[in-house]
Amino acid sequence: MSANTSMVTEFLLLGFSHLADLQGLLFSVFLTIYLLTVAGNFLIVVLVSTDAALQSPMYLFLRTLSALEIGYTSVTVPLLLHHLLTGRRHISRSGCALQMFFFLFFGATECCLLAAMAYDRYAAICEPLRYPLLLSHRVCLQLAGSAWACGVLVGLGHTPFIFSLPFCGPNTIQQFFCEIQPVLQLVCGDTSLNELQIILATALLILCPFGLILGSYGRILVTIFRIPSVAGRRKAFSTCSSHLIVVSLFYGTALFIYIRPKASYDPATDPLVSLFYAVVTPILNPIIYSLRNTEVKAALKRTIQKTVPMEI
């Protein structure tokens, strides 16, 4: 077994190789999406960092989320573009492990950050008088730092564990990046115990922050329904709607992909689901937060007004 294991030094990412006639079109589409994703999220980072009106905890978390999305999509899309352009779909074993680590790192950090953002909305709506105390600058830094630390622990916990398992061949991954489920399918021998450990750890990572989010929004809904005026209820709910949409998109696909055994992995449909949360979701976040948030739109307008005269 050790001799066979040593032979697997690289993997083949099939991705969208079955769409041979559409490689050029796919390259153009994914390149456009990637550039828009980076530009949109970078714009939010710049706006929050420079505009004095966007210094509340909600926008500080939003800036962190946008920075995460840039890293999250940059882990997979540039390599996918390289494969589509050159036709070379090989990735080394160490490169695959590195990609998996950073994908898990950014994904786990976003899970925890979304929970922190839900707590921010809870404090703002349910505890408005104590909001400056509950979400002080120090507390915000602690929450954000804890989210990053959680991402590091998840990446370090899963990646070395998976790549310490024996890979005896074949080396073909039915995915466009090194995701846990399709990589696990290449491990030789009985991996049921390893698979159970990974599912339990992933479920704990996803369900704990998700439970905190549900608890926060349960309290928020109770508080909103107690507001006597319709306008007040609408205003309170509008401050949460963007975050709810992002949470639904992110957790919906994550729960579908990760909390299930590897035997249920479908190489025909699962890459499309992965494509949605790895490529499409990061570009939706800046659109959701900018189009549905008057303060962000006002900050963007002020920035344009300051920049355009300078260029003229």
Domain extents in the chain: 10-307
- pLDDT score recorded for residue 168: 79
Residue 94 CA, distance from chain mean position? 22
Q: Could you tell me the CA-to-CA distances from 18 to 96, 189, 240, 277 in Å, in that order?
A: 21, 29, 41, 21
pLDDT tens digits, 260-270: 655 566 666 66
Closest to 134 measured CA to CA, from 236, 28, 56: 56
Average the pLDDT over 137-158 and give the result.
91
Residue 196 CA, distance from chain mean position? 23
pLDDT tens digits, 228-277: 888 878 877 777 888 888 888 888 777 776 666 555 666 666 677 778 87
- pLDDT score recorded for residue 102: 95
What does pLDDT average to over the chain? 83
Q: What are the tokens at 206?
A: 């996803």
Cα separation, 85 vs 189, whole angstroms: 36
pLDDT of residue 291 exceeding 70, the answer is: no
pLDDT of residue 195 exceeding 80, the answer is: no
- pLDDT score recorded for residue 310: 52
Q: What is the pTM of this model?
A: 0.86
Q: Vertex 239, ends 235 and 241: CA angle to 5°?
A: 105
Amino acid identity, position 147: A
pLDDT tens digits, 117-143: 999 999 988 888 899 999 998 999 999
Maximum mean pLDDT: which of 67-81, 184-198, 205-219, 265-279: 67-81
For 10-307, CATH gives 1.20.1070.10
Average the pLDDT over 209-230 and give the result.
87
Higher pLDDT, 46 or 299: 46
Average the pLDDT over 47-71 and give the result.
89
First to last CA, the chain: 69
Phi, psi of 11 (to 5 degrees): -120, 160
Closest to 99 measured CA to CA, from 180, 197, 4, 27: 180
Cα separation, 38 vs 18, whole angstroms: 28
Contacts for 96 with CB less than 8 Å, ≥ 6 apart = 11, 163, 173, 178, 183
Provide the 3-class DSSP secondary structure of residue 179. Answer: coil
Average the pLDDT over 155-178 and give the result.
85
Closest to 80 measured CA to CA, from 23, 20, 157, 155: 23
